């Protein structure tokens, strides 16, 4: 019966803007990523319109979740963080980059009508645009989430060791990689 007591305590949290903000924020990463991968699989392998429509709806809903996330973030103010300056920067970053999600959501909604059988080259263009925009937005969301972790959980970030940094720099130098001709 302890679970019932916990559930009764959970219900009032659904009116708490801080709770709703943190509850919805993962959609901006995981919903977009799963929707993008679902789109790629439904177009490339399954070739079923129902699967395509489901993945487009998931992409659109996940991308447009940025609006309630930002709304509940404003409502939750003041959010306490270890650094007021970093919190202000992250709030501005979230607000200034919402166009990425709104653009992806709009593209997904357009894809409901512009993709599918018989849409020709424009359907192919939109299919590729949705896949590219979705994956790009997922990477962008991962970067924004890393900034959130740096703000609220600085101990969760692992510092790179000097050897790791050196290896990464060497990999990034084109001259350091051998050219293989086939």
pLDDT (mean) for 57-84 = 90
In angstroms, the CA 108 to CA 35 distance is 10
- Tokens in use for 164? 């790791």
Question: For position 138, what pLDDT does the model report?
Answer: 97
* pLDDT at residue 128 greater than cutoff 90: yes
Report CA-CA distances (Å) from 102 to 74, 106, 107, 125.
18, 6, 9, 19
- The encoded tokens of residue 40 equal 């790629």
What's the mean pLDDT when you consider all of the chain?
86
pLDDT, tens digit, for every residue of 71-122?
998 888 777 777 778 888 888 999 999 999 999 999 999 999 999 888 889 9
Cβ pair 147, 77 in contact under 8 A: no
**Per-residue model confidence (pLDDT) at position 152:** 80
């Amino acid at each position: 019966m302890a679970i019932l007591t916990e559930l009764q305590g959970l219900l009032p949290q659904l009116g708490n803007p801080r709770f709703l903000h943190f509850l919805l924020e993962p959609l901006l990463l995981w919903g977009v990523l799963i929707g993008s991968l679902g789109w790629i699989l439904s177009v490339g392998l399954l070739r079923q319109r129902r699967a395509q429509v489901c993945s487009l709806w998931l992409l659109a809903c996940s991308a447009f979740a940025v609006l309630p996330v930002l709304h509940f973030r404003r409502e939750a103010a003041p959010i306490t963080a270890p650094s007021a300056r970093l919190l202000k920067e992250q709030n501005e970053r979230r607000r200034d980059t919402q166009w990425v999600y709104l653009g992806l959501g709009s593209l997904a909604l357009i894809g409901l009508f512009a993709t599918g059988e018989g849409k020709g080259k424009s359907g192919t263009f939109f299919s590729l645009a949705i896949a590219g925009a979705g994956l790009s937005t997922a990477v962008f969301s991962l970067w924004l989430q890393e900034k959130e972790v740096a703000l609220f959980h600085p101990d969760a970030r692992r510092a790179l060791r000097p050897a790791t940094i050196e290896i990464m720099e060497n990999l990034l130098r084109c001259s350091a990689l051998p050219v293989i001709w086939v």
